[in-house]
Structure 1
Amino acid sequence: MILSVHVVIPARDEQELLSRCLLAVRQAIAHATAVRPGLICRATVVLDSCLDDSALVVAQGGARALVVQHGLVGAARDSGARVALAEDAAAGVPASRTWLASTDADTVVPPHWISGQLALAENYDAVIGTVQPLGLTDPQLLAQWHLRHQLREGHPHVHGANLGVRGSTYLQIGGFRPVSSDEDVDLVRRIRARTDRWVATDTVRADTSARMQGRLRGGFSDYLTTLRGTVTEEAG
């Protein structure tokens, strides 16, 4: 049984959206600890090269801040995970009983996000969740997004904004690599190469900001921008 959960959230100048994310994470932690008394849950925001007031938002949001200067989302996620695992190891919690839940600073997770992942963790070592765009008001763009995304069990998608992995599995595959994008796809590829104890599920779906200008190249916002261009071309 999982004894400890660490929610790891990379952030780079996210003061505008971070408070919404942290509120949702707090609600998910409260739900999980109510369902599983004795469960230890913590949230760590990895502040990577931030120049805004994200640190203040973290302090007000009841999370822990880890300040780094990587400039790489993969390295930021890994730093948060490594600190969490080291903390649990020092407390005598084996990595096999630590769960690492990954989301993003512009994402809103559902209240059952952690408890849902832990229910699946009874049989799996990794949970690959879905996301849907939050605040996307263009009906044509939204329709095209849904045509390209399968919000179902066994879906083919990978999102760093909605992932969970057992600590021991994370260590065995080497964790997130220090890359600027697709660190989530790379991690899941290595998990799948090592074990069949993973599940792609829509049961813990999260909402990710539909902004068109994100904080990294190749991320969700870049995908939406490219999709908008495709829709415009098709309409023309």
Structure 2
Amino acid sequence: MVICVPARDEVAMLPGLLSAIAALSVERDRLSLCLYLDDCRDGSVALLDRLASGLNFRLVVARGGDRGAPNAGAARRAALAMGLDLLAGGEGALFTTDADSQPGRDWIAAGISALARAEVAAGRIVRRDAAADPQQCRIEAYYDRLHRHRRIVDPVPWEACDTHHFSGGANIAIRASAYRALGGIQPLSSGEDARLLDDAGRAGMRVRRDGAMLVETSSRREGRIAGGLAGLLRALDQGEPPRLADPREASWQWRGQAAARTGFAAIDRVDVRAALGDRLGLTPDHILGVARDCPNAQAFAMRVVPSSPGAGVLVTLSEAEALLTELEGQGCEIAA
């Protein structure tokens, strides 16, 4: 197993990361940590030189230069490339987290179990001192509820019972073969983690969100990238009211994906294509064209369903919670 971590000026956080990895319940001779130091200028190199000999796992360090604006995707891509090099073209599991994070003791074991059921696994992320940010806790609880609603209206056999909404790079595991097939993580300044999961789904891969994979991360306000957790926490500190997408729009899309998933096996039938097209606002010919390019029902469901007609509508957190409660009632009727 290979853990791949990008870091930029994280000298204060690296000891916690190293200690957590040293405590993982995994055979030591099978564990490697690839650290990509993204032009660090804070003493990270000296710290690692001092600690390396006392570690009970293999540590591989690479140093990047050309200090520009932080690019989370490029840095994580470089870290994962180091992991692929260690695997030398063979199969295996790639794990990635952040330098300010600490995986739980059973993180690797839970990830390996998840990857026996899916090509990609996204684990749960908890924040240290989360109680100090009640608004963010409320937002996270809402999104967990929303994802559970998704799996009621569009159930898939590879999803974990203890599922969640997180898709952050602080807690992802992926089969090396799947990562290669996807062409790697995209070098985006932010959102590269969610994009990886989206790309996997559109390729027909199974993406499992598994709460047994647990990573604890910081609640710091000084982030390394724009649009990250730190920026969101700062905005909440400043009293900016959160605005969320209307959950009815997501529910419309997920119900459409469920219909597409069910109809894929019989997509050669004109009546099936016509019914799905009526539901999605697409022509039967368009439906068939997409289906012909898809290897399986998962890829078809992820590719053919457009954004909902009302996508882009934002509501307050209280409104979103109330609307989700209504949807959950409808979901219970469906499940019954």
Task: Say whether the fold is shared (TM-score over 0.5).
Answer: yes
Match of 1:57 in 2: 47
Q: Could you report, residue by residue, the CA deviation over 1:74-116 in whole angstroms, capped at 9, with x for unpaired residues?
A: 1111112122212322xxx62xx21110000011110000111
Which structure is larger by alpha-carbon Rg, 1 or 2?
2
The match for 1:24 is 20
**CA deviation profile, 1:154-180 (whole Å, cap 9, x unmatched):** 323211000000111001111111121
Cα distance change of structure 1 residues 55 and 104 upon mapping to structure 2, 3 Å threshold: same
Q: How does 1:30-45 map to 2 (within 5 A)?
A: 31-33=25-27, 40-45=30-35
Structure 1 match to 2:210: 201
* Residue in structure 2 matched with residue 120 of structure 1 by the alignment: 114
Q: Distance in 2 between matches of 1:231 and 1:144?
A: 15
Partner Cα separation in structure 1 for residue 241 and residue 79 of structure 2: 39
Bigger share in helix: 2
Among 222, 225, 232, the residue aligned to 2:231: 222
| Alpha-carbon distance change, 46 to 200 in structure 1, aligned in 2, over 3 angstroms | same
Match of 1:166 in 2: 175
Three-state SS of the structure 1 residue aligned to 2:169 is: coil
- Matched letter for residue 11 of structure 1: A
Q: Is the 8 A contact 1:140 1:231 kept in 2?
A: no
**Which stretches in structure 2 are left out of the alignment for 5+ residues?**
146-160, 243-315, 317-336
1:199 deviates by 0.6
Q: Aligned equivalents of 2:209 and 2:7: distance in 1? A: 25
SS at structure 1 position matched to 2:23: helix
Matched, 1:101 2:91: no
Alpha-carbon deviations, 1:174-195, whole Å to 9, x = none? Answer: 1111121111011111011112
Matching of residue 74 in structure 1 with residue 73 in structure 2: yes
Q: Is the 8 A contact 2:125 2:215 kept in 1?
A: yes
Contact residue 144 and residue 231 of structure 1 kept, 8 A: no
Return closer, same or farther for 1:187/1:133 CA change in 2, 3 Å cut-off: same
Superposed displacement of residue 58, structure 1: 2.8
Report the counterpart of residue 176 of structure 1 in structure 2. 185
Counterpart of 2:222?
Answer: 213
Aligned counterpart for 1:48 among listed residues 38, 46, 50: 38
2:104 is aligned to 110
- Inter-partner Cα distance in structure 2 for 1:105 and 1:98: 22
Matched residue type, 1:45: L
Q: Identity of paired residues, percent?
A: 24
Instruction: Work out the CA distance in 2 between the residues paired with 1:162 and 1:98.
Output: 17
TM-score when scaled to structure 2? 0.60
SS in 2 for 1:204: strand
Partner of 1:11: 7
Using the alignment, how far apart are the partners of 1:100 and 1:187 within structure 2?
13
SS, match of residue 21 in structure 2 = helix
Task: Provide the alpha-carbon RMSD of the alignment.
Answer: 2.3
C-alpha distance in structure 2 between counterparts of 1:49 and 1:8, whole Å: 16
| Preserved contact between residue 114 and residue 210 of structure 2 (Cα < 8 Å) | no
